[in-house]
């Protein structure tokens, strides 16, 4: 019972405001019209019974005043029958009416319903019957009129509720469309409140103006910070890269030192690529153009495979590279490299044994691994910032997959995550086109 009530409440809470207005009108009309219809039927029934009792009693009294036992010349109305004790012929009291007590009754005889008025005068019982067929026909007609009126009232209330909901909801729908429009996040977007009256919708528009204003300011600060920091990091990264190259050319370095310098060189190269990605994203979101160089998927993949083969094999893993089905499309080199590189880095980080496979497809690519996998309850959160598959691993901040998702949204690409059996992950990127 509780689960049914909970589902009903959840379903009701998902109804739109327009639907709620229509439902309120329908319920209100049902209650009012229902009470009114029941009142009419009950009133008519009581009045009809009262009038029937009065009329039938008056007719019986008139018949008794006119009675002449020697020469009975009067007859009742055409829909009435008169009977008397000790009568003969048509006036003889039927056996089924003899037990009736004095007063008003409703009886059933001859497969028809009758009203009966019974009186006893000087020890003699008189009964006057009136056929109910006329009253029942009028009652059915009344019921039909009442039901028709009730249905028409209900339909009219639904129509009125629909028209009123459209009238009431028109400014709200307009405001929702304006808020959803992407231009509202631009710095020069006009305020919403001046377009509305000083009512509840106007107050809501004013609240949206305040919230959107704070959001615009936050976006501007984020873009400025991303652009400034990325720009300022380029110089020290270039120094690191050039210094690493000079050190690697020094023949005096032993194998261990050369390995450490190579790691520094790879890290500075990855950082430089990340900085370029952030700068390009900031420019793209600011609509300043400068989308960067374009390259084919095969070229970007080959460069990344050359970069990652050594660390992957050094970890004891097998790098499988399948490029036979690669498409010929051209994409932003920095963005494509950042997406593919982050997925390879993620696979390398969370795989301790087995393989990492990069497969190029006509409209995208996949990165698979035989690593520890990602729990199902965390799968939907993996593309959020600062979310990591395994919190016990000390490296990484959980920003790689968030950057992948951000780039894909910016470029109109899609990235999906599925599990492999018996363990591991598969990231599929669809580049479109």
pLDDT higher than threshold 80 for residue 407: yes
- Residue 290's pLDDT band (boundaries 50, 70, 90)? very low
State residue 138's pLDDT score: 78
In order of their start, the domains of the chain are: 2-151 (no CATH), 200-290 (1.10.287.130), 292-433 (3.30.565.10)
pLDDT higher than threshold 70 for residue 1: no
Tell me the Cα Rg of the chain.
45
Is this structure's pTM higher than 0.85?
no
pLDDT higher than threshold 50 for residue 327: yes
Question: How far apart, in Å, are the Cα atoms of 159 and each of 84, 93, 154, 172?
Answer: 60, 60, 9, 20
Which range of 38-42, 70-74, 158-162, 310-314 scores highest in mean pLDDT? It is 310-314
pLDDT higher than threshold 60 for residue 84: yes
* Poorest-pLDDT segment among 23-32, 37-46, 265-274, 278-287: 278-287
State residue 289's pLDDT score: 44
State residue 369's pLDDT score: 93
State residue 301's pLDDT score: 94
State residue 432's pLDDT score: 78
Q: State how far the Cα of 367 lies from the Cα of 183, in Å rounded to an integer.
A: 36
Among residues 287, 131, 312, the alpha carbon closest in space to that of 219 is found at: 287
State residue 228's pLDDT score: 65
State residue 403's pLDDT score: 83
Give the percent of the chain with pLDDT over 90.
Answer: 12
pLDDT higher than threshold 90 for residue 318: yes
pLDDT higher than threshold 60 for residue 4: no
Backbone angles phi, psi at 128, to 5 degrees: -115, 120
Q: State how far the Cα of 348 lies from the Cα of 312, in Å rounded to an integer.
A: 6
> Which residue is associated with the tokens 């028109």?
170
pLDDT higher than threshold 90 for residue 250: no
pLDDT higher than threshold 50 for residue 397: no
For residues 367 and 344, the answer to whether their CB atoms sit within 8 Å is yes
């Amino acid at each position: 019972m509780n689960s049914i009530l909970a589902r009903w409440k959840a379903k009701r809470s998902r109804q739109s405001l327009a639907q709620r207005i229509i439902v309120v009108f329908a319920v209100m009309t049902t209650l009012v019209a229902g009470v009114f219809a029941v009142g009419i039927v009950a009133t008519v029934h009581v009045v009809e019974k009262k009038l029937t009792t009065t009329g039938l009693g008056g007719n019986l009294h008139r018949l008794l005043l006119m009675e002449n036992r020697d020469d009975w010349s009067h007859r009742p109305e055409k829909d009435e029958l008169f009977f008397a004790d000790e009568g003969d012929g048509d006036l003889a009291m039927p056996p089924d009416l003899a037990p009736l007590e004095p007063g008003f009754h409703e009886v059933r005889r001859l497969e028809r319903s009758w009203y009966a008025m019974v009186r006893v005068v000087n020890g003699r019982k008189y009964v006057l019957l009136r056929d109910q067929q006329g009253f029942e026909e009028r009652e059915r007609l009344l019921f039909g009129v009442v039901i028709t009126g009730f249905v028409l009232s209900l339909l009219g209330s639904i129509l009125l509720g629909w028209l009123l909901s459209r009238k009431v909801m028109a400014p709200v729908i307009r405001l929702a469309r304006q808020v959803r429009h992407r231009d509202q996040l631009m710095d020069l977007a006009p305020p919403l409140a001046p377009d509305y009256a000083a009512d509840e919708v106007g107050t809501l528009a004013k609240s949206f103006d305040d919230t959107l204003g704070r959001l615009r300011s936050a976006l501007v600060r984020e873009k400025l910070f991303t652009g400034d920091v990325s720009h300022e990091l380029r110089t020290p990264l270039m120094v690191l890269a050039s210094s690493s190259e000079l050190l690697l050319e020094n023949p005096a370095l032993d194998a261990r030192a050369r390995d450490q310098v190579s790691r520094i060189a790879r890290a500075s190269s990855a950082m430089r690529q990340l900085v370029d990605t952030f700068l390009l994203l900031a420019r793209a979101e600011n609509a300043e153009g400068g989308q960067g160089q374009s390259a084919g998927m095969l070229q970007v993949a080959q460069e990344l495979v050359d970069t990652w083969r050594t660390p992957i094999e050094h970890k004891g893993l097998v790098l499988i590279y399948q490029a036979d089905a690669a498409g010929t499309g051209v994409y932003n080199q920095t963005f494509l490299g950042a997406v593919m590189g982050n997925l390879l880095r993620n696979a390398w980080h969370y795989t301790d044994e087995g393989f990492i496979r990069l497969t190029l497809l006509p409209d995208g690519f996949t990165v698979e691994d035989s690593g520890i996998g990602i729990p199902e309850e965390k799968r939907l959160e993996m593309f959020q910032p600062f979310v990591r598959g395994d919190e016990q691993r000390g490296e990484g901040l959980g920003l790689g997959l968030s950057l992948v998702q951000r780039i894909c949204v910016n470029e109109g690409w899609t990235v999906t995550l599925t599990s492999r059996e018996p363990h591991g992950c598969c990231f599929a990127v669809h580049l479109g086109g």
